[in-house]
Chain A
Amino acid sequence: MNLDKCRRGQIVKITSINNSDIRAQAIRFGIAEGEVVRCEQIVPAGPVVIRKNNQEIAIGRGLARQINVEQISG
């Protein structure tokens, strides 16, 4: 599934990010492929906020659509 389809509170594993610049930026923030993150918030029709430990990142809806995730729980 894609990150934009996440529900609030779900724990997901990031399986792939389809853009190399975004991938590099995401690694810096600690959300590399393979990381397990929590869907912290979904802004209606807007960004998805994911959290890993204390790090929160807002990801635009269009970009979230290009991030493939695997549901872990929730």
Chain B
Amino acid sequence: MHCHDTGLKIDIPDGAKKIVLAGNPNVGKSVFFNALTGLYVDVSNYPGTTLEISHGKYGDDIVIDTPGVYGISSFNDEEKIARDIILGADIVVNIVDAVHMERDLFLTQQVIDTGVPVIVALNMIDEAERQGRKVDVDLLSDLLGVPVIPAVAIEKKGIEELKANMGNARPGHIEPELHKKLHFLHDRVAEQGEALLILEGDPIVAERHGVDPGNDREEIYLMRRARVNDIIGHVVSQSKEGVGFGALLGQLMVQPLTGIPILAVFLYAMYKFIGVFIAGDVVGFTEETIMIGKYEPFIRGLVGQYILEDSALGTILIGEFGILTMTVTYILGLLLPLVVGFYIALSAFEDSGYLPRIATLSDRAMSAIGLNGRAIIPIILGFGCVTLATIVTRLLGSERERRIAVFLLGLAIPCSAQLAVIAGLLSKVAGAYIALYALVIFTVLAVVGTLLNKFLPGESTDLLIDLPPLRLPRIDNVLKKTFTKSYHFLLEATPLFALGALLIGILQVTHLLEKLQGVLQPLTVGWLGLPKEAATVFIMGFVRRDFGAAGLSSMPLNDIQIIVGLITITLFVPCIASTLIIFKERGRREAFIMWPAILATAFLIGGIINKAYNLTGSANGVIGAVLVVLIAAIIIGKIPKGKSRVISGGKTYVK
């Protein structure tokens, strides 16, 4: 049997129950999930999104994870998915953060209101106690009408009790007034959960039943909020205000005076870790020693027994750009360690609760380019994978913001694979050149963003974001995220790399590459001041951006050539995968404008920097010129648009 009602393709054996884990972001759902399912976990993509939903077996039953949400409705993809999975559940295990019950119990009560059997795991009860919070668990259970199990999941406390009480999950108490409303709709909508969401004005659920969405959202929300506040008033006793080191650090992180230096320290540490340690030491070993030293001679020897290396097929398979030589070396020797390194850093940021604070800190600056602080999340994710980040722009509040963010991601944000290669190349040049590179990319981002904000019609939305408690990132969580993300990256990247290598191999066999290098000479040699072989790098860049950047490292270039090459390849059109995503997300018309615009901007800026260097004769001269442009852009950005701002679509950050 397929699990149609959740929208997921999961095989559910006959008689198996669907146990759904639900909770707010960062409450430790994944720890419970792992404790219930053990090692064997499947991950499936939710149709039409890149959100991955994990599911596994618990005894004869199926456990399904959901994205962390604050409530279930249609505010964003996470909520829609969580909503559909919860509505199709046999049992909901609701994980509640004992420190944040005011926030979390809203979802708890909403899930209870859907009528599904619920069991609550009150997680992080130890942290609440340290903060002087006492929770009367029995009373909470009585008031909610469902079992409540206190737990400290990372110490495995409460897991056995949860398992033992799973069968006691039951529908909880609903406000009599809401019950009446639901009953009223009962004739037309059989399922209580669906009826609830229709009353709450959920347009999608209403459409499924062919009825008009209700207007009672606010009334029901306020009733639920009052109920939750009342419950908390009865069950929680706070003996002291807990302002620990974490709270203080959290405050320092959002104030520019302290927050910017803190961010700089984190970014520097990230650079040291990824740009120096991984890109240098680790890749030196994996790429040079293992892949080029051991693997390539081996595969050449093996294939060479049957196919001559300088035959056409040999060139394609085991030549300089061979599918079995270069592709495998780049993917396993170069990209894999870099991508793993990047995901470790990003997952640690995510897990610690630092990301929404960066959003708060950067809100002012982001509003200058027509975005709000929330957009820092796709931008930072873009440094991981532009394809993923482009999809994540859906969390932004308006079409206008999505348009700006997608364009900037495609243009000025290098993805992790590319960034790591860039960091590696930058370590070869003098400090002034590194500054020049960073300044140019930043200026392009600021200038293009400011111009888009100035000339694109419409209004952007304002920031409204939850600041979760700061926590030390948990290693197993970070490693798990790193593993799945890196694995998916390899799955996605490998065929595209092979395709690219095949393309390059064919160009080489047919000597088209030399001809193209000649054709593109005015652009590469004349305009950008690079060797004509750089054309190969750009063609590779079409296939995958990091492929292009990696190609630069094998060419003998001087400092300014490296920088011009890097600037051009950074701004250059995104890889095939993200190009396809841009078309999908933004529609053909818009993408057909974006794509050539990005391409033209890349060559324009690269060439201008080359010419400016020839004119001024030093990196410092070019830096001065770029600074003037940047300051001009900031001044233009300061001039108000002269319209009042309208807001819409308050939403939270992505998990």
Contacts and interface: CB of A to CB of B under 8 A. Distances in A.
B648 interface: yes
B462 A58 contact: no
Contacts of B364: 43-47, 61
B257 to A, nearest CB: 9
A24 interface: yes
Given A28-B71, A61-B363, 16 more contacts: A21-B649, A27-B224, A27-B225, A28-B107, A28-B225, A43-B254, A43-B256, A43-B360, A46-B361, A54-B131, A56-B250, A56-B467, A57-B465, A57-B466, A58-B464, A59-B463
Nearest to B259: A43
Contact of A41 (B73, B238, B251): B251
Contacts of B645: 62
Contacts of A60: 363, 367, 372-373, 462-464
20 contacts: A19-B648, A20-B218, A21-B649, A24-B73, A24-B221, A25-B650, A29-B103, A30-B228, A44-B364, A46-B360, A49-B254, A53-B102, A54-B102, A57-B465, A57-B467, A58-B359, A58-B463, A58-B467, A59-B462, A66-B647
B360 A58 contact: yes
A54 B469 contact: yes
B647 A52 contact: no
B103 A25 contact: no
Interface string A1-43: 0000000000000000001111111111110100000001101
Contacts of A28: 70-71, 103, 106-107, 221, 225
A54 B132 CA distance: 12
B205 to A, nearest CB: 16
Contacts of B75: 21, 25
A18 to B, nearest CB: 9
Contacts, number: 134
Closest 5 CB pairs of A and B: A60-B463, A60-B462, A63-B462, A25-B650, A46-B364
Contacts of B221: 24, 27-28, 32
Given A28-B70, A29-B103, A43-B361, A61 B466 contact: no
A58 B361 CA distance: 10
Given A30-B229, A32-B222, A59 B464 contact: yes
Contacts of A61: 363-364, 367, 462
A28 B224 CA distance: 9
Contacts of B99: 54
Contacts of B71: 28
B156 interface: no
B341 interface: no
Measured as residues with beta carbon below 8 angstroms from the partner, the interface class of chain A is 20 to 34
A66 B461 CA distance: 13
Nearest to B357: A58
A55 interface: yes
A62 B647 contact: yes
A24 B361 contact: no
A55 B103 contact: yes
Nearest to B649: A21
A60 B254 CA distance: 13
Interface in B66-116: 70-71, 73, 75, 99-100, 102-103, 106-107
B23 interface: no
A24 B463 CA distance: 15
Nearest to A43: B254
A24 B464 contact: no
A66 B462 CA distance: 11
A62 B251 CA distance: 21
A20 to B, nearest CB: 7
Interface of A: 19-30, 32, 40-41, 43-47, 49, 52-63, 66
A58 B254 contact: yes
Given A47-B363, A60-B372, A23 B218 contact: yes
A22 B250 CA distance: 24
A24 B217 contact: yes
A22 B373 CA distance: 16
A30 B228 CA distance: 9
Contacts of B373: 46-47, 58, 60
A60 B364 CA distance: 8
Contacts of A45: 364
Contacts of B102: 30, 52-55
Nearest to A56: B467
A44 B651 CA distance: 23
Nearest to A19: B647
A57 B255 contact: no
A2 to B, nearest CB: 13
B356 interface: yes
A57 B651 CA distance: 12
Contacts of A52: 102
A21 B463 contact: no
Contacts of A23: 218
A43 B363 contact: yes
A40 B250 CA distance: 11
Nearest to B99: A54
Given A28-B106, A49-B254, A58 B469 contact: no
A46 to B, nearest CB: 4
Nearest to B362: A46
A36 B229 CA distance: 12
B546 to A, nearest CB: 34
Nearest to B70: A28
Contacts of A49: 254, 360, 467
Given A43-B363, A46-B364, A60-B373, A27 B222 contact: yes
A27 to B, nearest CB: 4
A25 B100 CA distance: 16
Contacts of B649: 21
A15 B238 CA distance: 26
Contacts of B652: 25
B59 to A, nearest CB: 34
Contact of B225 (A20, A30, A54): A30
Contacts of B356: 58
Contacts of B73: 24
Interface string B197-229: 000000000000000000001100110110011
A61 B360 CA distance: 11
Contacts of B131: 54
A54 B135 CA distance: 14
